[in-house]
Amino acid sequence: MEKVKQLFTGLSALIIISMTIIGCTQEPAAEPQQVTEPSIEGWKITKTDLNINMIAYDMKFITPSTGYLVGTYGDIYRTTDSTKTWSRLASGTTLTLNSIYFIDKNIGFISGRGMSGCLDADCDKGSVLLRPTDGGDNWSKIL
């Protein structure tokens, strides 16, 4: 019995040493990976600092040059020059705006959500729906 025990102990040590040697072999160094910018055929991708202090939730363009951006604090921004400049529009609410949809260049919808614990008059009235009929210069609010 003692010889069997010694045999298993010896085999166990041999297996552990073999696994250690196999596990410690050095593999050839991997080739450095090149980082490439994403690309879409026919498109030019650019990065622009909007200088807008909000968390944006949605952006829609209704023409190649006119687009809208919505987000926190009821903020709505519009560009009419393909994102070179943005102007802030008065939404009439401070609720977070989540989504934009335009039927045409004048009529659209922006939806937002109510918040608990804030001080704005709209906070406890649930969700908000904003509707422009003039391309975004004036917004009617439905709570």
Rounded distance, CA 125 to CA 60, Å? 26
Report if residue 45 sits inside a domain. Answer: no
Report if residue 136 sits inside a domain. Answer: yes
Out of 39-43, 100-104, 137-141, the most confident range is 100-104
Q: Which residues pair with 112 in a beta bridge?
A: 97, 128
Report if residue 64 sits inside a domain. Answer: yes
Report if residue 90 sits inside a domain. Answer: yes
Do 115 and 126 contact (CB within 8 A), yes or no? Answer: no
3-class DSSP state for residue 21? helix
Report if residue 30 sits inside a domain. Answer: no
Report if residue 31 sits inside a domain. Answer: no
pLDDT level of residue 62 (50, 70, 90 thresholds): very high
> Which domain, by its residues, includes 83?
56-142
Total of domains in the chain? 1
pTM above 0.85, yes or no: no
According to the model, what pLDDT value does residue 66 have?
A: 93
Do 98 and 111 contact (CB within 8 A), yes or no? Answer: yes
Tens digits of residue pLDDT in 31-42: 666 666 777 888
For 69, residues 6+ apart whose C-beta sits below 8 A from its C-beta are 50, 52, 56, 58, 59, 75, 76, 77, 78, 79, 86
Type of residue found at 57: Y
